[in-house]
Amino acid sequence: MFSGSIPALVTPFRGGAFDAPAFKRLVDWQIDAGTSALVPCGTTGESPTLGFDEHYRVIDCCIEAAAGRVPVIAGCGSNDTATAIRHMRHAQAAGADAALVVAPYYNRPTQDGLLAHFRTLAEASDLPIVVYNVPARTVTDIGAETMCKLAEIPSIVAIKDASGDLARVTIHRAGAGAGFCQLSGNDDLWLPHAAMGGVGCISVTANVAPRLCADFAAATAAGDWTRALALHDRLFLLHKAMFSDASPGPVKYALSRIHDWFDPEVRLPIIPASAASRAAVDAALEAAGAL
């Protein structure tokens, strides 16, 4: 259902409030640069610090700005199943194409608990679900066997896998079928993930280098591994720099270097990128030719 370069969009703030005009300009820039889908209200969008009304305003704004040009995969995850259902129902009513749903964090559910959580979401809404597995943030890991069981649910159409375990691409392909959509959740592992059967990446780097990431995605889809490797090498320092400090501090700083209309403001407990991080971002932007 989804493939290519898919940015996990930042949420611009100005003076403590959501900067809707900047967000719309960001969406337009992304689409013009070849981005294939958009993810508002993911972790990179600072969703933990968005209240309900603000969360929904960001989703609505993204859908309105995209205007049907590319799919919108709305961030709907929560560690409270009822809240995730609420998010999904709003996203579906607003016109989102799918929901990105992270494994419940902090609660540490069992594998059976994860199955029950996602099955309940699928029963409560017919919005397609992209399961997000990121154990470094959630502690709970959606095991490969569990993911294959989830893939049997018709509305669970994809996984964003940030486990770092590349063997799972093959395990998921064997257990969920070659047609099940596998997206990398790690920019620096996008190349090997694609070589093993992945079809794209929900990316942080694509926020700041959308054309390069779209070109990279096109090269992997075409099986042009020589070009893909060259683009990977060009982007690699940028992949690393995006996490040289707590995200999304570095990516927001990078966007402020590229666009004079973008403010790098973040919300506590995230703080602005440190001097060392800013230097790493500047060097990476130069290396990638993104400035």
Q: Which residue numbers are catalytic?
A: 132, 160
Give the CA count within 13 Å in the CB-facing half-sphere of 274: 7
Furthest C-alpha separation in the chain: 49
CB atoms closer than 10 angstroms to residue 170: 13
Residue located via tokens 């666009």? 259
CB atoms closer than 10 angstroms to residue 275: 9
As separate numbers, helices (DSSP H) first and strands (DSSP E) second, the chain gives 12, 9
Beta bridge partners of 99: 74, 129
Contacts (Cβ under 8 Å, ≥6 apart) of 46: 10, 11, 248, 266, 267, 270
Contacts (Cβ under 8 Å, ≥6 apart) of 29: 210, 259
Distance separating alpha carbons of residues 107 and 261, to the nearest angstrom: 39
User: Residue type at 14?
Assistant: R
